[in-house]
Chains A and B, each alone.
Chain A
């Protein structure tokens, strides 16, 4: 089998869903920090969102399964912690999908800009913490729906 190009590998990785927010891909999440060939070995660098995120090992497993499924034999997954992951690395495509799914995407101001359901900006924070380490819990004061906000770090 011919060695697939790096662009091809990025495309494959963009089809691997995040295990906890399956509407976005690992590439959308911004945690794939590098793809390169070193000789016959494919090196993929992955950074954790939060240091204790329990999805990290599942993510590595999903990457491995996906790439092996595409015929990659020699694969090395590297953990890269510096520079640390930031929500600025979420792709535009990923941000749009998040909102569509009901999760408000991160904003530089530190809080959601609008309710993902009714788009009202009359919002209140319930808790800095949420269903996963990367989210906070907010509520819309107009439609009264509680929603997850992907917090900015």
Chain B
């Protein structure tokens, strides 16, 4: 594996996470419990789609085959996606959506913070932009997790159930393979395992305040990040997200 191949893989992982989660969150548009939350979720989704354009745009550039961010988003099938499994799961209820957002935002915050100092200036520039947005996403999702976790009996039990369901998916964000090692050696991207302590610190602090218990057990659901195996849900998501290009190949605005 060359360094550019590893870089392409890494950029797909970054861009596919924001693309798939951005699409999932956009499904709330018009359905949230109150207007302010609807606007907040739509804005968060929009930021993530914006970050996708930057990550996948650079991925296409690095690959050098003339593929654009749009090509990568709309003309690949499930097995070519490199997002972690957590982001492709259906939204569940509002609490579960916000719990996932928090568990993802905390990782994204630590990741983009590291990437601001990447030895590749193109990555550092994207990370610098994204980090500003992720910072207030995390502030909001963390506050909401605390509000609902330390809320009524009903909201507390739903948030605990969401955490029990989602927590086993978190470990995949810290998986490491050959391409990660290559990029870590070159100072382009971090060794994912090294992000874990800061992540655990943020997540631990917020969940404690939310009076929620981190589930025990060490089982990790994985396979999306390396493309080995996605859940059945990704295919369904893509049929909706890619519908126009599948029905009318090459259609342009």
Q: Which residues of A contact B (CB under 8 A)?
A: 48, 50-54, 81-84, 126-131, 133, 137, 151, 153
Contacts and interface: CB of A to CB of B under 8 A. Distances in A.
B128 interface: yes
A7 to B, nearest CB: 29
16 contacts: A48-B50, A50-B50, A51-B50, A51-B133, A53-B50, A81-B54, A81-B125, A81-B129, A83-B128, A127-B39, A128-B139, A129-B36, A129-B40, A129-B44, A130-B39, A153-B133
Nearest to A132: B43
Contacts of B51: 51-52
A87 to B, nearest CB: 11
Q: Which of A48, A52, A129 has the most CB of B within 10 A?
A: A52
B53 interface: yes
Given A51-B133, A81-B129, A82-B124, A128 B50 contact: no
Interface in B215-235: none
Nearest to B136: A128
Contacts of B124: 82
Contacts of A131: 39
Interface pairs A-B: 4 shortest CB-CB: A52-B50, A51-B50, A82-B125, A127-B36
A83 B132 CA distance: 12
Interface string B31-50: 00000100110011011111
Given A52-B49, A53-B50, A127-B39, 9 more contacts: A51-B53, A51-B130, A52-B50, A53-B46, A54-B46, A82-B125, A128-B139, A128-B140, A151-B136
Contacts of B110: none
B195 interface: no
Interface residues of B, number: 25
A10 to B, nearest CB: 24
Contacts of B40: 127-129
Contacts of B241: none
Interface of B: 36, 39-40, 43-44, 46-51, 53-54, 121, 124-126, 128-130, 132-133, 136, 139-140
Contacts of A52: 46-51, 53
A129 B132 CA distance: 14
B129 A82 contact: yes
A128 to B, nearest CB: 5
A82 B126 CA distance: 8
B128 A84 contact: yes
Contacts of A133: 43, 46-47
A129 B129 contact: no
A151 B40 CA distance: 14
A151 B137 CA distance: 13
A48 B125 CA distance: 13
Contacts of B128: 81-84
Contact of A153 (B39, B126, B132): B132
A129 B143 CA distance: 14
Nearest to B40: A129
B109 to A, nearest CB: 15
A151 B140 CA distance: 14
A17 B47 CA distance: 23
Contacts of B39: 127, 129-131, 137
B146 to A, nearest CB: 15
Nearest to A82: B125
Given A127-B36, A129-B39, A51 B125 contact: no
